[in-house]
Amino acid sequence: MNQSILFSDDLTVDLDNQCVRFSAQQMGSLINCLVLFSWLEEESGEPVCSQEKACEIFNHLRFDIEDTAEALIEDEEFNASGEIEIS
């Protein structure tokens, strides 16, 4: 794991945008990240039917999510809003 990218334990379920939001820090800069419910469902094989279920699946897949986000950050694959989006 690249120690220059640190992931915090913050986690927010965004029902309007069907995603879970979390953050990372790289060299002191805060990077907003999100993972779409559709990705969580595909990876887990379970439907995201509530905020609680979204958190449960996210936490179960946390290491995979962080690895994916780390690769996207290193490749500077930011979306139009300047966020890292796992979809």
Q: Where residue 2 falls among pLDDT bands split at 50, 70, 90?
A: very low
Task: Inform me whether the pLDDT recorded for 24 exceeds 50.
Answer: yes
29-36/84-86 β-pairing: parallel
Task: Inform me whether the pLDDT recorded for 1 exceeds 50.
Answer: no
Domain range annotation of the chain:
5-86
**Per residue in 43-65, pLDDT tens?**
999 999 999 999 999 999 999 99
**Per residue in 5-15, pLDDT tens?**
999 999 999 99
Q: Is the dihedral of CA 72, 73, 77, 78 positive or negative?
A: positive
Half-sphere exposure of 20 (CA within 13 A, CB side): 27
CATH of domain 5-86: 3.30.160.140
pTM for the whole thing? 0.92
19-26/12-14 β-pairing: antiparallel
